[in-house]
Amino acid sequence: MKNNPSTKFRTGNVLVTGGAGFIGSHLVDELIKLGYGVAVVDDLSTGKIENINSKAKFIKFDLGSKLAGEKLQPILKNIDHVFHLAAIPRIQYCLEHSNTCHSANVNGALNLLNSCVKNKHIKKFIHISSCMVYGASDVLTVSEDNPVKPKTIYGVQKHMQELYLDLFTRYFNIPSVVLRYFGVYGTKRHSESGSYPNVTAAFSRDKRIKNKLTIYGDGEQSRDFVHVFDAVRAAIMAMRSGFCKGEVFNIGGGEPITINQIATYYKCPIEYKKARVDDVRHCTADITKAKKLLKWQPKISFEKGIKGYLNE
């Protein structure tokens, strides 16, 4: 009975969309370890079925499809908490296939929200967003109050998800939280080309295929990284917190790390190429709000995390 989320658990039943992906599958593992009943919805467009914990109930379908609402109703019947991670997070792919990605990313979120409205027992809707909504900021460190100016189709679609969630929270009283993840990394389950292929995964691919890293620009552009275990812990703390309805939180490491610094851990030659037009120069998370309201802060330093990832 443990793998049937229709059976009430003492800790509750949880739906994780995108639970076959990098972050989602780690979240599912941790929720099951904590005693939650977990249902996973994923269309496997970027996730892998082997990532899904055998104790979770898996339902394969596309949240952006016209039949999504009909399929979601029986799944949500006994669900207490919803984590929405399902998305197509490939920046270039979203640019080239904007309609397809709009259906998956925006319509998918809207279908899920409409279904949650009909299930008034949902205690918390935790939406996983992205630092991509900020785009090119005028400051090195961005807080949740910084202007949202996405520079990519994917960033625009993540922002649209947030806007819909804000409206549904205000009009339909859905208790929600938005977590804007920065560069999540940390285990070999991290796809080199699928979901969230940030620089750590891209460098791993470069080293494996050609034993040489490619860096666009001078390498002094900086990013913020958070280990997947810390990211998952933030999501669960957001679910359990009773003081953050309607809030938005940055979830990152809170310190800038240059691309050149990251490259030193890979110990192989570097090829520098012309900077890409849409590259953001600097983006670091101000995590003050998460520390204060969620009582969350990262536990795994980038040095420890990247060494563990490369030695796995």
Residues 96 and 203 in one domain: no
Residues 105 and 68 in one domain: yes
For the stretch 205-254, pLDDT in tens is 899 999 999 999 999 999 999 999 999 999 999 999 987 889 999 999 99
Res. 5: pLDDT tops 50 = no
Res. 4: pLDDT tops 50 = no
* Nearest residue to 248 (alpha-carbon basis) of 143, 135, 164: 143
Among the ranges 183-187, 191-195, 196-200, 279-283, which has the highest mean pLDDT value? 183-187
User: What is the C-alpha end-to-end distance of the chain, expressed in Å?
Assistant: 33
Compute the C-alpha angle 142/219/204, nearest 5°: 95
Instruction: Return the pLDDT at 191.
Output: 58
Strands (E), the chain: 13-17, 37-41, 57-59, 81-84, 124-130, 141-142, 176-181, 183-185, 213-216, 222-223, 225-227, 247-251, 257-258, 270-273, 284-285
Residues 73 and 216 in one domain: no
Q: Which residues are catalytic?
A: 154
Instruction: Return the pLDDT at 7.
Output: 44
Task: Let me know if residue 247 belongs to a domain.
Answer: yes
C-beta of residue 262 within 8 angstroms of C-beta of residue 60: no
Task: Let me know if residue 134 belongs to a domain.
Answer: yes
Task: Let me know if residue 212 belongs to a domain.
Answer: yes
Residues 179 and 266 in one domain: no
Instruction: Return the pLDDT at 250.
Output: 99
Assigned token pair, 212 = 């040489």
Instruction: Return the pLDDT at 140.
Output: 86
- What's the average model confidence in pLDDT over 76-99? 93
Res. 2: pLDDT tops 60 = no
Instruction: Return the pLDDT at 244.
Output: 83
Task: Let me know if residue 293 belongs to a domain.
Answer: no
**Reported confidence tier of residue 165, pLDDT bands at 50, 70, 90:** very high
In CATH, what number is assigned to the domain containing residue 272? 3.90.25.10
Residues 151 and 208 in one domain: no
Instruction: Return the pLDDT at 54.
Output: 97
Task: Let me know if residue 7 belongs to a domain.
Answer: no
Instruction: Return the pLDDT at 161.
Output: 98
Instruction: Return the pLDDT at 10.
Output: 52
Residues 25 and 45 in one domain: yes
Residues 275 and 241 in one domain: no
For the stretch 105-152, pLDDT in tens is 999 999 999 999 998 899 999 999 999 999 987 788 999 999 999 989
Task: Let me know if residue 49 belongs to a domain.
Answer: yes
Boundaries of domain holding 206: 187-225+255-284+300-311
Question: 177 vs 62, 65, 124, CA distance in Å?
Answer: 23, 25, 8
Residues 51 and 106 in one domain: yes
**Count of domains forming the chain:** 2
Assigned token pair, 197 = 């292929």
Dist. CA 137–CA 134, nearest whole Å: 6
Residues 259 and 217 in one domain: yes
| Long-range contact set of residues 191-198: C-beta below 8 Å, sequence gap at least 24 | 191/22, 191/46, 191/48, 194/21, 194/22, 194/46, 194/47, 194/48, 194/90, 195/18, 195/21, 195/22, 195/23, 195/46, 195/47, 195/87, 195/89, 196/21, 196/22, 196/23, 196/89, 197/90, 198/223, 198/225
Task: Let me know if residue 291 belongs to a domain.
Answer: no
In CATH, what number is assigned to the domain containing residue 90? 3.40.50.720
Question: 68 vs 10, 45, 97, 282, 311, CA distance in Å?
Answer: 28, 16, 21, 38, 41
Number of H helices, E strands in the chain: 11, 15
Residues 119 and 175 in one domain: yes
Residues 143 and 171 in one domain: yes
The structure's pTM equals 0.92
Instruction: Return the pLDDT at 11.
Output: 74
Task: Let me know if residue 99 belongs to a domain.
Answer: yes
Residues 137 and 54 in one domain: yes
